[in-house]
Structures are given as C-alpha cells and as structure tokens.
C-alpha cells in the first residue's frame, strides 16, 4: 500500500501538504493540487485509517450493539444505521450482545479501544446507572429503544406504555373483554412497560386482565405456540390476544389455527413491531408499528452531531411515534363465541 510519503515524494511536496489537500484545509496553488491528486490516483493511495485514528484521535466509525442482528428487528437496526453511517462516510462496526451484560460491556469497551466514540446501543441488560456513566465517558453514545431520564437527550425511543395501551384500546374497542397477554419473560424495559400499558387500558375501561391470562415466554415464534397451548390446556377463556411482539403473535396464530380456532373470527391477535413478517403471516397480522429503522438512522445522525460539534447542547429527547397498522388478524368480538371458543 502506498503511504502519504510516497504520494508526497511523487508529487514533489511534503506530507503535510498532501494531508492538507486531502482534507481540504487551507488553500494551495492549483498546480500543486493537480500533482498531488495525480499522484494519489497513480499510486492508488488509500490513507491508513489506523494511523489516521492514532494521530488525530478520531475515527470515522459507528459502532452498533444489539442483542442479535440475525433477529429481524435488530437486522433493521443494523441496516438503517449502516446506511446512514455510510452517507456520512463512517464505517460500521457491529457487535451482538446476546442479552448478556458482560458481553455488552466488552463490546462497548472494545469499540472505545478503537477510538470509536459513535456508539448506538440497544441495551436490555445494563442498568440505568451504568448507561449514565457510559454516556458521560462516551460523547457519541446514543441509547436506542430505551428511555433513561438523566440522559434523555441521548435516548431515541418510543413510549412502550403508550403504544401498548393503544393496542389494548384498539382491542377493547372491538368489544373484546377477555383478553390474554403473551408477554416476554424478561423483567426489564419493554416487556414490563408493554404489560403495564395493556393493564392501564383495561383499568381505564373498568376491566382487568386476570393473572392467568398473562403468559410469559421467550419471545420467539415457537414460544407463541407454547403459550397458546398453555392457555388452552388451562381452559382459559379469551377472545383476543395481545402479544409482546410479532413473532409471538405469529406463533399464537399458528397454534390457534392448528386447533381449529379461527383468527380473527374466533380470536383476534395483535402483535408489536410491525416486522416484515406481519405481512407474510396468514391472516396478515395487525401490529403496532415500531419505526426502528428510522430511529436507527436518526440515532446515527445524532451520535455524529454529538461528536462533531464539540459544544453542542441538545435539550431534547428523541421520542418516536408508534401507531396501529390494521390488518386481518383482528376483528370485532363474536358474541356467540365468547364462551364456546375458549373452552375448546
């Protein structure tokens, strides 16, 4: 690989001149510029980014940390973020945390060790305190999908309580009163907030969700099936299901249909995330939209602003809006079935 020195020699100037021209700092005789550009082209020169990083203490690198980019939801985080990074001529570093706090910290520190200060973190394991501490240390740290009061200006999030309440209200509006909730067996953040939101809607309607209609599972399609099995085995009575996410919802539908229970005629199902999958499911899945890709793009923009504008003060939190996308898995409650279905 050709170095700056090579280019400088070839163009008959010093390395600093080449460096300046490369970065468009200051002005130069156009003759010199031409020579330099010529030399760069002829030598196919590419700056060594490690040396750049070392010398300038800056790297054009966005690090994205999610539980697992193979999951469709996080895949969108990665692709949105990577695309935006690229627009700003940043490269993208990826790490999976696999929902492990230690792995997550390791990922962060290894990014930092590379001088990467632009980190987009979708964390479900670290404590608020830890995040606050990290945010103080890392200028470009942006928290995705979670709200932490003290660093609200670093948070790009949706209001899970509100969104889930919306979903529950939508179900209530359709006349459903006996509703099962398939939640995610994790004590933090999203799952508990979404559960709260659903409960809230019912409370406001003068109803409540009995504990035996709330099933916790592991958030995958297979878990949705299992949860429905459990409900039916317990002879639970319900005419609708509010699922923590689309995967669970799809699993639930599959199991219901397998048991001869029609969706949405007998039971309505609503998901959350509005993944690509929602349109593939049969019936197509009604879901709460989670604009994660836009959020991820925004998060990268924000992070870059945070690091490139040294004295920037952002007095704003970054709240995105979710809304119901109505498809075919939900319908008005069928009064005739209210008792029958349920004990099938």
Q: Which residue has the tokens 């109505």?
A: 326
- Name the minimum Å distance from CB 27 to DNA: 3
By the rule CB under 8 A, 245 interacts with a copy of itself: no
Q: Considering only 72-80, 149-157, 265-273, 317-325, which stretch makes contact with a copy of itself by CB under 8 A?
A: 72-80
Nearer to a copy of itself, 81 or 197 (CB): 81
Nearer to DNA, 58 or 99 (CB): 58
- Name the minimum Å distance from CB 125 to a copy of itself: 17
By the rule CB under 7 A, 25 interacts with DNA: yes
Q: Residue 17 phi/psi, 5° resolution?
A: -60, -45
Position among 35, 183, 227, 281 found at the interface with a copy of itself (CB under 8 A): 281
Burial 250-274 (b: 16+ CB within 10 A, else e): bbbbbbbeeeebebbebbbbbbbbb
Position among 24, 113, 313, 343 found at the interface with a copy of itself (CB under 8 A): 113
- Name the minimum Å distance from CB 326 to DNA: 52
By the rule CB under 7 A, 19 interacts with DNA: yes
By the rule CB under 8 A, 291 interacts with a copy of itself: no
**For residue 296, with 0-12 CB atoms within 10 Å meaning exposed, 13-18 middle and 19 or more buried, which class applies?**
buried
By the rule CB under 7 A, 29 interacts with DNA: yes
The interface with DNA within residues 265-304 (CB under 7 A) comprises: none
29 binds, among DNA, a copy of itself, none (CB under 5 to 8 A by kind): DNA
Count the site residues for DNA by CB under 7 A.
30
CA angle 230, 179, 166 (to 5 degrees): 130
Nearer to a copy of itself, 165 or 254 (CB): 254
By the rule CB under 7 A, 9 interacts with DNA: no
End-to-end CA distance of the chain: 71
The interface with DNA within residues 40-69 (CB under 7 A) comprises: 45, 47-48, 51-52, 54-58
Nearer to DNA, 51 or 185 (CB): 51
- Rounded distance, CA 117 to CA 90, Å? 12
289 binds, among a copy of itself, DNA, none (CB under 5 to 8 A by kind): none
Q: Considering only 44-52, 126-134, 202-210, 266-274, which stretch makes contact with a copy of itself by CB under 8 A?
A: 44-52
Where along the sequence are the contacts to a copy of itself (CB under 8 A)?
A: 1, 46-51, 53-54, 59, 68-70, 72, 75-76, 78-80, 82-83, 86, 91-96, 109-110, 112-115, 221, 250, 257, 276-277, 279-282, 293
Where along the sequence are the contacts to DNA (CB under 7 A)?
A: 1, 3-5, 12-17, 19-20, 22-23, 25-29, 32, 45, 47-48, 51-52, 54-58
């Amino acid at each position: 690989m050709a170095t700056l020195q090579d280019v400088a020699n070839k163009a008959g100037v010093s390395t600093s001149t080449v460096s300046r021209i490369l970065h468009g700092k200051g002005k130069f005789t156009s003759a010199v510029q031409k020579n330099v550009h010529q030399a760069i082209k002829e030598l196919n020169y590419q700056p060594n980014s490690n040396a750049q990083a070392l010398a300038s203490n800056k790297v054009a690198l966005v690090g994205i940390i999610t539980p697992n980019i193979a999951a469709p939801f996080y895949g969108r985080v990665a692709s949105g973020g990577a695309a935006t990074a690229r627009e700003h001529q940043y490269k993208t570093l990826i790490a999976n945390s696999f929902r492990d706090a230690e792995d997550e910290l390791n990922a962060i520190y290894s990014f930092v060790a590379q001088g990467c200060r632009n980190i987009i973190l979708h964390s479900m394991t670290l404590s608020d305190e830890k995040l606050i501490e990290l945010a103080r240390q890392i200028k470009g740290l942006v928290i995705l999908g979670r709200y932490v009061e003290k660093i609200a200006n670093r948070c790009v999030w949706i209001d899970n309580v509100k969104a889930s309440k919306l979903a529950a209200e939508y179900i209530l509006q359709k006349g459903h009163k006996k509703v099962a909730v398939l939640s995610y067996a994790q004590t933090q953040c999203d799952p508990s907030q979404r559960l709260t939101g659903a409960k809230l809607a019912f409370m406001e309607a003068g109803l409540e969700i009995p504990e035996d209609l709330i099933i916790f599972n592991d958030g995958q399609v297979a878990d949705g099936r299992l949860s429905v099995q459990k409900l039916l085995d317990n002879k639970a009575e319900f005419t609708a299901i509010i699922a923590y996410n689309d995967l669970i919802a799809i699993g639930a539908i599959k199991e219901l249909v397998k048991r001869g229970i029609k969706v949405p005629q007998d039971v309505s199902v609503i998901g959350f995330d509005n993944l690509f999958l929602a349109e593939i499911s049969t019936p197509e899945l009604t879901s709460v939209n989670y604009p994660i890709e836009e959020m991820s793009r925004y998060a990268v923009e924000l992070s870059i602003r945070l690091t490139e504008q040294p004295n920037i003060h952002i007095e704003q939190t970054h709240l995105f809006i979710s809304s119901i996308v109505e498809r075919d898995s939900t319908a008005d409650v069928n009064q005739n079935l209210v008792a029958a279905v349920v004990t099938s």
